[in-house]
Amino acid sequence: MIALAVALCSPALAQEPPLPATEVPEVAPPDWLSDTVTRPHANIAASASRPGFTIEPLDAVRLDAVGLLPPSITGLPADLWGASDTETLARLFRAQPNQGLPASLAFTEMLALAELDAPADETGDGADLFLARLDMLLDRGALDPALSLMERAGPTDPQVFRRFFDVSLLTDRADRACAAMTANPDIAPTFQAHIFCLARTGDWSAAALSLDTGAALGRISDAEYDVIARFLDPELFEGEDVLPADMNLTPLAFQMRMAVGDRPDLTGLPLAFTHADLSPLAGWRGQIAAAERLTRSGAIEPQQWFAIYTQRVPAASGGAWDRVAAIQALDAAILARDATEVGRRLPPAWVAMQEASLEVAFADIFAERLLALPLIGEAGLLARRVGLLSPRYELVAQGTVAQTPEERFAFDIARGLPTEPPEDADMQTQAIAAAFADPRPPHGYRWFLQNDRLGEALLRASIVLGGPAQDGDDLTEALTLFREVGLEGVARRAALQLLLTDR
């Protein structure tokens, strides 16, 4: 459907420049990565003359083309990037928000994991786009998908290995990272990484010697020396003051501090570090906070968040404890199939989820169970609202008669029908209605489609959908683009989430 839509609107290359609907900010790679390698990949040219052609081994891996999800699963054409340049695509990936509209987060994660042809201007074993895709996942704390992507590619490129090493540390796979470093002759580790891996394998004397050598050569700072020395022999420092806080904490330093019982405060740290608080060692409250943050960014599945919420009975009240109590009370009422009690427990649970911006995760867990109960009145309306936020949104709209103008409008959007917004609708609702009008309105992404830049257009539109606030015209154009190129499900779910969640 996507290929057909592009073909229909591309009789000739357009001459007009693209509309500046989406500015592409410069976003740097993560600054919290550990310095694990000391030199770039050792592919050094022997001549300054420009070659006339490039020779690659038959089994060479083109990193920018590596993915986990083939076109048969994503439904995306293999040549999605078309004529877009690698630099622009990389900037667009790094500019994607790390929290926001779940439909947009899920779509861009699929793009990051998709198996697609490398951009037309990419040569050799270019990795710029691959690294940008990884960095978007790391920015959201989606460590497991990022690690799987790197394992699929093979972490032989130093910049890929740098990310592979740190993600392995943050997901309790340090031994695998050290084994990969040892097995890869192209990876020249820094003293810090080398010392850490020597210690992990039990060679403490060699690790201590490397520490002193690195300090003597000026390769290890005083602050780094203190952390590593305690990591190697914590008993020598018993009774001494704790280490000062590190304002530039890396996963390597984080792992060493954790090993000596100096658990850093994760407040304000990137989402990637939050995974450490999913461990029971963080305490239940820490697990709850971490699960909420990572669920909002799409880094973990709602089932994992729900499992942490229902681990035990809260012993306190206020804040997160009230949210946990509300969800547990609703869950118990549903298990008892007590429709009256569910009707009483559903509204406070919904308000709690609005406070935490977890409405869509809540819908994934509870929608089907709520819709199976004979709820009436306000409880019935709220249950159908939850259903519209779930993957069952179209079935909900097809199998129920709308009870209010707002519900009728939402049902029409769920079925992809042209519709009029309710009276006194706000700007956002009017913008959504415009995107579902017949005929479809014109949009500012036409130039990109006509110039074989479909993937770039989708990334730009995703920034609009995922942003904290949308201009009405920009929102209409972004939703219209998704509908026009066959991504109807993305457009409908995004529209429903904008309509029905507290954003």
pLDDT of residue 470: 67
Distance CA(348)–CA(352), nearest Å, equals 6
User: Is the per-residue pLDDT at 10 higher than 50?
Assistant: no
If one counts the domains in the chain, the total is: 1
pLDDT of residue 61: 66
CA distance between the termini of the chain = 31
Mean pLDDT of 129-143: 97
Mean pLDDT of 469-473: 78
Q: Which of 158, 136, 111, 161 is nearest to 270 (CA)?
A: 136
User: Is the per-residue pLDDT at 232 higher than 90?
Assistant: yes
Task: Give the domain CATH number at 110.
Answer: 1.25.40
* Buried-state track 410-445, b at ≥16 Cβ within 10 A, e below 16: bbbbbebeebebbeebeebbebbbbbbeeebeebbb
- pLDDT per position as a tens digit, 419-438: 999 999 999 999 999 999 99
Position 289 in a domain: no
Distance CA(11)–CA(348), nearest Å, equals 55
User: Is the per-residue pLDDT at 468 higher than 80?
Assistant: no
Percent of the chain with pLDDT over 70: 89
Position 196 in a domain: yes
Mean pLDDT of 215-235: 93
pLDDT of residue 166: 95
**352/248: higher pLDDT:** 352
Position 270 in a domain: no
User: Is the per-residue pLDDT at 217 higher than 90?
Assistant: yes
- pLDDT per position as a tens digit, 29-66: 788 999 888 744 333 333 333 334 343 443 456 899 99
Burial of 459 (0-12, 13-18, 19+ CB in 10 A): buried
pLDDT of residue 50: 39
Lowest mean pLDDT among 97-106, 258-267, 316-325, 404-413: 258-267
pLDDT of residue 244: 87
Mean pLDDT of 182-208: 90
Taking all residues of the chain, what is their mean pLDDT, rounded to a whole number? Answer: 89
pLDDT of residue 135: 97
Please report which confidence band the pLDDT of residue 192 belongs to, taking 50, 70 and 90 as the band edges: very high
Q: What is the value of pTM for the model shown? A: 0.90
Please report which confidence band the pLDDT of residue 23 belongs to, taking 50, 70 and 90 as the band edges: low
Mean pLDDT of 451-460: 97
Q: Which of 396, 394, 350 is nearest to 371 (CA)?
A: 396
Position 95 in a domain: yes
Position 72 in a domain: yes
Please report which confidence band the pLDDT of residue 162 belongs to, taking 50, 70 and 90 as the band edges: very high
Query: Quick one: tokens of 229?
Result: 């020395």
pLDDT of residue 262: 87
User: Is the per-residue pLDDT at 8 higher than 60?
Assistant: no
Position 193 in a domain: yes
Residue type at 263 in one-letter notation: R
pLDDT of residue 62: 82
Position 146 in a domain: yes
Structural domain of residue 180, as residue ranges? 24-40+62-237
Percent of the chain with pLDDT over 90: 74
Position 362 in a domain: no
